[in-house]
Structure 1
Amino acid sequence: MQHRVRPALTCLATAFAVLLPATTAAPAAATPAQLPPGVTLSTLSLGAQDPGDVWTVHVYLPATIDGPLGTAATALGSKEIADRVAGALRDKGFEPRLEQVDLPEFADRPAGVLGWIVRVGRYPTSGAAATALAQVKAAGFAGGTRYTAQDGADAGAPQKVHVLRVDFRRFRGTVDTDFGPALKGAETLTDLMAASGAAAGINAQWFYNSAPGGLYVKDGKLLGSATQGRGGIKITHGGRRVDVDAYTARVTLRAGRESIELDGVNRVPGEIWNCGGGGDQPTQKPQHDLKCTDSSELVRFTPEWGVPPQGEGAEALLDARGEVLAVNTTRGASVPPGGSVIQAIGDSTAWLLEHARPGRRLTVSERVEDSRGHRVPLTPGTTILQVGPTLVRDRRTSVNAGADGLIREGADQTFTYNWTVRANPRSMIGVDARGRLMLVVVDGRQAGYSEGLGIAQTAELMKRLGAVEAMNLDGGGSSVMATAGTGIVNRPSDATGQRSLGNVILVRP
């Protein structure tokens, strides 16, 4: 960016090295008496507001060089398109500026130019920027307002960082995941804490259609489909061991000598959030927060889901031993106690109707593998959350932005810019060199209080906090931390406060 340009990674190393020692003694949000022995909470105040931080009008660009300006919807584009929009603004009497947006270097992607943005004006308040935006729109352009400290390139921007550390040398409880009465149906963190008697907690996975998205293994049971090859974190021994890696999962349905691979577990058939599976359209590569589709799928539902979705296709109801209790030519029956339902849509319907007959036994086998192709035993006490991206591996910052789908395919890089580069609220999990589990939330999108972090900055922060392994969790308005004694510790960015979540990570005494 032209506004206060500083290479993010090199500045972060200096900024955090200076700021962390001075702020680790900041007052904790909960007193030791309110947390179990071995669990500590610190709130760090990093950075400072700069007089150069201003509000501005961010003018949207058309997807093509000759596209309409009034309905443009991309946040950035090529230099050629940006030049055209800037010229049109000048013709209307505005004084636009072009700014280059750089993509930081990631473990699997070199640094480079992501695109160009067009902005108008510098204003002291959001209200003044909104007034200017109305004038820009009235002149035939589209856009929004931005606060420049949230561009993701300023390592010295204000940040509020909340850090829970769990020292298992003193803590006798457990750290694990939880969700509400059913996977299909979101709950707030504080409600889930109250129901389970947890001492503290943080948000966990992304969630789509009110259910967790990505590979989810709880207590050795596979409850959620994998986005093949994306990062994840394995938690065992009640939180005492944490392993960050990339995971794949294969679920196979067998009927006698015939077998077929299931497309998913506990998700809406035909809708594949984050993509990454065979037959997905428009891409079979991981793409974070993108909904792909597949017209022919087989999806398994377990009792944890709740009532499976209704619709056309077919389904087979299996008891706990895998015996087919019934076969239906529409979908939506309840899951038998202890059993499962296999739903089929599209061309997969014919396979299920041919091979699933009442009284016949079907076998479901599961295989989860790590990045080395080694099988991960799904033993009781094993939890896997596929979230991501990875942040720290073996004490080094390590973000696989391409493999984790953080960089959009195609010309429109609006998502990459807004989610990966720009500052946002973030939640993280990691472990330090002393074996202490770390749960971390950085507030964001709150001008002058806490701006948030880009993904590269998030990785650098976790390293500076001492993480030897760390993983990004769901963020944005989902970022929330709470303790039983204090309630919500951070300031969630949604105007309505904490969100309802698909699942959470809880510290239970």
Structure 2
Amino acid sequence: MQRTSLSLAAAAAVLGAVTAVPGAQAVPPPRSAVKPQPPSALRPLQQSAPPVTTTVTDGVTLTSLSYGSRAASEDRWTVHVYLPVAPDGPLASANTALGPRATADRVANALRSKGFEPRVEEVRTPSFADLRATTLGWTVRIGRYAQETGASADLARVKAAGFTGGTRYVPQDGGDFRAPQKVHVMRVDFAAFRGSLDTGFGPTLNGTEKLTDLMAAAGATAGVNAQWFYNNAPGGLYVKDGRLIGSATQGRAGIRFSGGGRSFDVDTFRARVTLRAGGASTEVDGVNRIPGDVWNCGGVGGDVPTEKPQHDLKCTDTSELVRFTPEWGQPPSGAGAEAVLDAAGTVTAVNTSRGAAVPPGGSTIQATGASATWLLAHLRPGGTAAVTDEVFDSRGVKVALTPDTTILQVGPSLVRDGRVSVNAVGDGIVREGPDQTFTYNWTVRANPRSMIGKDERGRLMIVVVDGRQAGYSEGLGVAQAAQLMRQLGAREAMNLDGGGSSVMATASGGIVNRPSDSTGQRSLGTVLLLRP
């Protein structure tokens, strides 16, 4: 397998990425003068209105916070011109948000030759736990507009001249501690709350449901979105009630809790699933996911282009063993082979194609490529097979998968032992290779965020920050999200799925925040629920 290496000069996030807006400097300095800072030096968000706290139920409070404000003279839209990945690539099909200085200068010069007045701006990263502060790349932008309509009109001119691009709202570049933010904080004091923290999904893992529907079905007091989802199913390690029902992205962050949330920890996790049959054994590549599709990468071997975690990237593997449990629903059909195991581990069928139903309490093992040859050679109808699930924490210690154990892998980690701690490279939120568009858009720029943690008093914290809503709430970059969680008192904290998936609701009040999708709340793969 060919691997690509990550250059520190082409790495991670924003935090005040844009530098050049001319004008007199005010006191305090205008947003344009705010310089990138490491997370330890990030300024706290400043409240712009008194917090509003309500009681959801005994031991559960909900506080809505307003931070920052809109700066009418500075909060502007702009035209963001895309760059080609290759330095000499065609401009008419360019699709990267930023790149090396030389490429940005080439695009800027080409724009000037067409009568535009572009500016080239540096995007820098903060320091993460595993990545020093550095230059991520350079962007090319045109104009500053009070309304998006002005930026859209000039974008049309830019495209007509043979370039590509989009519109951007500058306060959403990330790291602006003065930008408006709406933050919703739910705290659960288990000394008074007699219920429990739990995870939930729809009738099957293979399918999505809205948070409010899942809450209603479970009779839940409150809930929040949890894991990201791909191919209509959740992605990442998922251990529910001691059963491993979701594939691990090896080495990514997750939460482990027991006692209904009373014991809560953020850590990184790896999993090993072993199939034994006829005196032979082999490692199973995944659990309850489409064979060959390794979303977020971080698989167990043979994956391309990388075996390292890479968030929102689909790696592939033509030779896999994937286990399906009853939670999945109807397994996918296709070429390859499969074995059907009943609840006792007896092999009831071996098939030369895939798609058999999972028997009650049993499982199916689907195989593709060379793994299909192995399966057909070692499993026989009437024989027995055993599957062993093991999960290991960051120290390599095996996690006891008791009926009271739940692990939900999302990430990245935000706060560990009371300190801001984001493993940007280890968690795969910095993209390998020259195209850092994902890193810029997902890690650096402001987005809606959902987070979970534990505060200094041992209370559970569930936090949603609205975003992508110009002038109302811009959202946060990852480093700023970590800083906010620490500011709110977190001792441990982890990022959940975000963007349009970010949603918080209570049984009494419905949806608490303003989801960024124009259609409202999304259907989700998994959720976190407070059950009475």
Give the shorter-chain TM-score range.
over 0.9
In structure 1, runs of 5+ residues without a counterpart are: none
Q: Check whether the contact 1:296–1:347 (CA below 8 A) recurs between aligned residues.
A: yes
Q: Secondary structure at the match of 1:162?
A: strand
The change in CA–CA distance for 1:115 and 1:211 in structure 2 (over 3 A counts) is: same
Correspondence for 1:26: 51
Q: Check whether the contact 1:7–1:153 (CA below 8 A) recurs between aligned residues.
A: no
Q: Secondary structure at the match of 1:198?
A: coil
1:423-479 per-residue CA deviation (whole Å, 9 max, x = no partner) reads 000000000011100000000000000000000000000000000000000000000
> 2:336 and 2:525 mapped to 1: Cα distance?
27
Which one-letter code corresponds to 1:344 in the other structure?
A: A
Superposition map of 1:356-435 within 5 A:
356-435=379-458
Q: 2:342 aligns with which of 316, 319, 337?
A: 319
Q: CA deviation at 1:27?
A: 2.2
Correspondence for 2:109: 87
> 1:7 and 1:446 mapped to 2: Cα distance?
23
Correspondence for 2:263: 241
Which one-letter code corresponds to 1:194 in the other structure?
A: A
Q: 1:39 aligns with which of 32, 45, 60?
A: 60
Q: CA deviation at 1:106?
A: 0.1
Q: CA deviation at 1:15?
A: 4.5
TM-score, length-scaled by structure 2: 0.93
| % identical equivalent positions | 68
Correspondence for 1:506: 529
1:473-507 per-residue CA deviation (whole Å, 9 max, x = no partner) reads 00000000000111111000011110000000001
1:57 aligns with 2:79: yes
Q: 1:78 aligns with which of 100, 104, 110?
A: 100
Correspondence for 2:140: 118
Q: CA deviation at 1:11?
A: 8.8
Which one-letter code corresponds to 1:83 in the other structure?
A: D
Correspondence for 1:16: 44
Q: Secondary structure at the match of 1:353?
A: helix
Q: 2:236 aligns with which of 214, 222, 225?
A: 214
1:40-64 per-residue CA deviation (whole Å, 9 max, x = no partner) reads 0011000111121100000000111
TM-score, length-scaled by structure 1: 0.97
Correspondence for 1:281: 304
The change in CA–CA distance for 1:18 and 1:66 in structure 2 (over 3 A counts) is: closer
Q: Check whether the contact 1:8–1:154 (CA below 8 A) recurs between aligned residues.
A: no
Q: CA deviation at 1:146?
A: 0.1
Correspondence for 2:187: 165
Which one-letter code corresponds to 1:26 in the other structure?
A: P
1:298-334 per-residue CA deviation (whole Å, 9 max, x = no partner) reads 0000000000001000110000011000111111111
The change in CA–CA distance for 1:261 and 1:122 in structure 2 (over 3 A counts) is: same
Superposition map of 1:153-232 within 5 A:
153-232=175-254
Q: Check whether the contact 2:45–2:67 (CA below 8 A) recurs between aligned residues.
A: no
> 1:181 and 1:224 mapped to 2: Cα distance?
15
> 2:330 and 2:389 mapped to 1: Cα distance?
22
1:134-170 per-residue CA deviation (whole Å, 9 max, x = no partner) reads 0111111100000000001311110000001000010
Correspondence for 1:151: 173
The change in CA–CA distance for 1:18 and 1:126 in structure 2 (over 3 A counts) is: closer
1:102 aligns with 2:121: no
Q: Secondary structure at the match of 2:206?
A: coil
Q: Check whether the contact 1:396–1:468 (CA below 8 A) recurs between aligned residues.
A: yes
Which one-letter code corresponds to 2:63 in the other structure?
A: S
In structure 2, runs of 5+ residues without a counterpart are: 1-17, 22-31
Q: CA deviation at 1:366?
A: 1.0
Kindly tell me the number of residue pairs found equivalent between the two proteins: 502
